[in-house]
Each structure stands twice: as structure tokens, then as C-alpha cells.
């Protein structure tokens, strides 16, 4: 079975293409490399192109290769930037996805896995968050993901496209052997930023210490990227078995506070990490963690690598051995 992976050279995509190949799928990657890295997908067929700028290239690829399914990762993901530049996010995430969906339908493909986000929920009414809970994004990034989920629903009604949207909470971690990991051009995620600060012996800022949580800092559900890759594999297999359009949370069902993450980094790295508390960031909810009852029951998803210690150990080793990411190995 041949699968087109959009954004497959990115962080989560590069792990997922490996999981899919190990499961026997033939993979082609379509990526503009604005966020991804060729070095992360050596040995895979890579077509360089943009969903927004290269519609003809995309359409030709889909017609020529006769794919059975599409897995879609390509998106800008920085919440803070999406406030400042909403047009960038709606153009890339929404317009790009519309171009992809139109080409997918024209090619006669009926199976589609979408990389969505817990950002579709906004400030939760309850935790753990369940799939049927209110969707009210608090930033343009989350809004784009919700729009795309709605597009998938209506494309399903109109054209028979069957899709599974996976709503990630906080993707984290690196390869167990340290070979690949997270390397964004403008990193915004807590764990890699804190580890880099610790390794470079710098002070680290935490935004907000007055939240209604046990230690005053935000609480988040962290899921190892290896487990996320397996969730995509399970979703694709479900679509092969005639699953209908639906969405699943992908997390671990509990959260860790920012300070708990920092303490684990200090323990794993045997370092000090001085903290400076900054004002809260606009749009940050106090507590976000998932109910994973649905994906566990329906797809048999059970995280294997998502304990905080394993996450931090793998990220620590990745950054220690690749201080400049893929661009300049130590």
C-alpha cells in the first residue's frame, strides 16, 4: 500500500514515516522543507513542494503515483506567532489543506489521516478533555486545525472521504538511539527550550506561576513522538478496515507541570537550571490533558514511551549529541 505523507520531513512526520515503512507501507514524502529536514528522512522518496504554491506539482504526483491514503502533517504550529500573523496561518494551514483535499478527491483517494491538535478545544470546561467536549480555540493556530477538521467532515459527506483526525496534546521526545529529534527553525516548545538552556548553563523563563495548579505553573499532557507515530499507524489501519470519519485525542491521560518538567531535566542532566518567572502568555490554559479512553478502546492505543523520564532522557541525548540539530552534528 502506497501512502503520501505531507510534511513527512518534519518532527512528527519523520518518526511516522519510519513506523509506516516498518509496517510494510511504501512511502512518498511531500514537504517544502520550511520546517522539516532532508537529513531526517534519508532513504525516503522526497518530493519538495508547497501545498500553497505548488498545486500542479501536488496534483500530478497524486495522479501519477496512485496512492491509497494520505497522511497530512504540514502546518505552521506556533501559537504565539499565530496571534501576530494570523494570515500566515490561515494561508498555509487552511488554504494549503484545501488544495490538498481537492487534489486528493480528484485522485480518487478515500483514506486520510490528519495531524490535528488539542488547540481545537481552547480553555477546557473539564479535564481530562474528551473528544465530544466544546471546541472553542483561543488562538488562530487552533482555529485553523478546527477549520480543517470541519472541512474533512464535509468532504466526507460530499465525496466519501473517510478521515481520522488525531488531536495531539504536547508532542515530545526523540529517537531512543539519538539519531533524530525535534529541530524547529524557531523552537517554541518547553522541553527542548529548557534542555538547551540547561546544557548551555543559561537561566530559563517560565511563563506564569500563579495558575490554579499545585505549584502555580501550567500543566500539560506530554506524549512521546514514538507513541504518536504508532497512533498514526493505528489510524491508517482503522481506515483500511473501513473506519468512518472521526477524531481521537492522543496523549497519556494525565499532565505534568512546567516545574515538574524542569525538576526532571535537572535530575536527568545532573545540572542546575535557574528559573525566572515571567508574566502569563496570552492564550495559555492552566491545565490541559486528554482522556484517551476512546483511542485506547477503539484502536488499541497504549503509550509505551511517554513517561516523563523517558521523554527527557531521549531529548537530552538528542540535544547533547546534536547541539545545532540536523545542520551541524557535534
Active site residues: 141
87 CA to centre of own chain: 21
Q: Are 226 and 305 within 8 A, CB to CB?
A: yes
**Cα–Cα distance between 83 and 139 in angstroms, integer?**
6
**Cα–Cα distance between 251 and 231 in angstroms, integer?**
10
Determine phi and psi for 243, rounding to 5 degrees.
-55, 145
Determine phi and psi for 122, rounding to 5 degrees.
70, -145
Q: What grid cell was written down for 290?
A: 486528554
Q: What grid cell was written down for 315?
A: 531529548
Beta carbons within 8 Å of 55's beta carbon, 6+ residues apart = 99, 103
**Cα–Cα distance between 160 and 325 in angstroms, integer?**
41
Q: Radius of gyration (Cα) for the chain, nearest Å?
A: 19
Termini Cα distance of the chain = 38
133 CA to centre of own chain: 20
User: Sign of dihedral through CA atoms 184, 188, 191, 192?
Assistant: positive
CA-nearest of 72, 74, 118 to 220 is 118
Q: Are 45 and 28 within 8 A, CB to CB?
A: yes
Amino acid at each position: 500500500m502506497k501512502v503520501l505523507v505531507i510534511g513527512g520531513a518534519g518532527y512528527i512526520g519523520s518518526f511516522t514515516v519510519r513506523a509506516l515503512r516498518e509496517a510494510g507501507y511504501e512511502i512518498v514524502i511531500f514537504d517544502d522543507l520550511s520546517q522539516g529536514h532532508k537529513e531526517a528522512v534519508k532513504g525516503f522518496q522526497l518530493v519538495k513542494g508547497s501545498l500553497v504554491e505548488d498545486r500542479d506539482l501536488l496534483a500530478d504526483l497524486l495522479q501519477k503515483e496512485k496512492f491509497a491514503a494520505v497522511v497530512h502533517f504540514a502546518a505552521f504550529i506556533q501559537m504565539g506567532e499565530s496571534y501576530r500573523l494570523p494570515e500566515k496561518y490561515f494561508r498555509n494551514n487552511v488554504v494549503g489543506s484545501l488544495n490538498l483535499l481537492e487534489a486528493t478527491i480528484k485522485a480518487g483517494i478515500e483514506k486520510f489521516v490528519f495531524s490535528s491538535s488539542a488547540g481545537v478545544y481552547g480553555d477546557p470546561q473539564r479535564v481530562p478533555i474528551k473528544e465530544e467536549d466544546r471546541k472553542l480555540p483561543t488562538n488562530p493556530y487552533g482555529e485553523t486545525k478546527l477549520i480543517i477538521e470541519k472541512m474533512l467532515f464535509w468532504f466526507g459527506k460530499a465525496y466519501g472521504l473517510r478521515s481520522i483526525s488525531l488531536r495531539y496534546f504536547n508532542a515530545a521526545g526523540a529517537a531512543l538511539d539519538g539519531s533524530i529529534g525535534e529541530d524547529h527553525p524557531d523552537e517554541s516548545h518547553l522541553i527542548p527550550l529548557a534542555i538547551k538552556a540547561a546544557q548551555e548553563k543559561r537561566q530559563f523563563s517560565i511563563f506564569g506561576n500563579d495558575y490554579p495548579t499545585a505549584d502555580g505553573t501550567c500543566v500539560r499532557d506530554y506524549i512521546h513522538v514514538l507513541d504518536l507515530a504508532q497512533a498514526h499507524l493505528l489510524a491508517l489501519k482503522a481506515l483500511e478496515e473501513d473506519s468512518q470519519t472521526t477524531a481521537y485525542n492522543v496523549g497519556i491521560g494525565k499532565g505534568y507541570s512546567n516545574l515538574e518538567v524542569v525538576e526532571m531535566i535537572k535530575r536527568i542532566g545532573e545540572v542546575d537550571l535557574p528559573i525566572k518567572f515571567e508574566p502569563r502568555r496570552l492564550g495559555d490554559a492552566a491545565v490541559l490533558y486528554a482522556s484517551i479512553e476512546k483511542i485506547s478502546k477503539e484502536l488499541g492505543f497504549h503509550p509505551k514511551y511517554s513517561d516523563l523520564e523517558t521523554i527527557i532522557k531521549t531529548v537530552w541525548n538528542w540535544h547533547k549529541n546534536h547541539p545545532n540539530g540536523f545542520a551541524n552534528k557535534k
